[in-house]
Structure 1
Amino acid sequence: MHDWAGPLTAAALFAFLSPGMVFQMPGKNRPFDFMSMKISVASIFVHTVIYGLLLVLFLVVLNIHLYV
């Protein structure tokens, strides 16, 4: 059996944490923008750090597994 937790968690977090898709932090005009579809270098960096920390939390600390 293959463990699908890693790829599915990474794909879901990547889709949710794409800057400008659902939210952007920091935003262009405000600290927190929703559905702006515009990005900046600062927001890319913040979203990358949050993505990496959540991925480590789910896969290493919580040790989730999904067998299909």
Structure 2
Amino acid sequence: MSDWGPIFVAVVLFVLLSPGLLFQLPGREGCVDFGNFKTSAASIVVHAFLYFALICVFLLAVKVHLYLG
């Protein structure tokens, strides 16, 4: 059986933490902008750090596993 947990977590976090899709931190006009579909270098760095931190938590600390088949 294949473990699809890490792949599922990585894809979901990538979609949710894409800068400008749901939110942008730091925003262009304020601290947080929601749904503006724009990005900046600072927001890319912040979202990459958040992605790395959350994927480490879910894969190393929580040990998410999803077996299909």
Structure 2 equivalent of residue 38 of structure 1? 38
Q: Distance in 2 between matches of 1:64 and 1:6?
A: 7
Q: Which runs of 5+ in 1 are unaligned?
A: none
Q: Where do residues 17-36 of structure 1 align in structure 2 (5 Å cutoff)? A: 17-36=17-36
Deviations 1:4-35 (A, max 9, x none): 00111000000000000000000001000000
Q: Distance in 2 between matches of 1:19 and 1:56?
A: 19
Q: How many residues align?
A: 68
| CA deviation after TM superposition for structure 1 residue 38, in Å | 0.7
Deviations 1:10-66 (A, max 9, x none): 000000000000000000010000001110000000000000000000000111100
Q: Which runs of at least 4 in structure 1 moved beyond 3 Å after TM superposition?
A: none
Q: Where do residues 1-68 of structure 1 align in structure 2 (5 Å cutoff)? A: 1-68=1-68
| CA deviation after TM superposition for structure 1 residue 67, in Å | 0.5
| RMSD of equivalent CA atoms | 0.4
Secondary structure of 1:46's partner? helix
TM-score by length of 1: 0.98
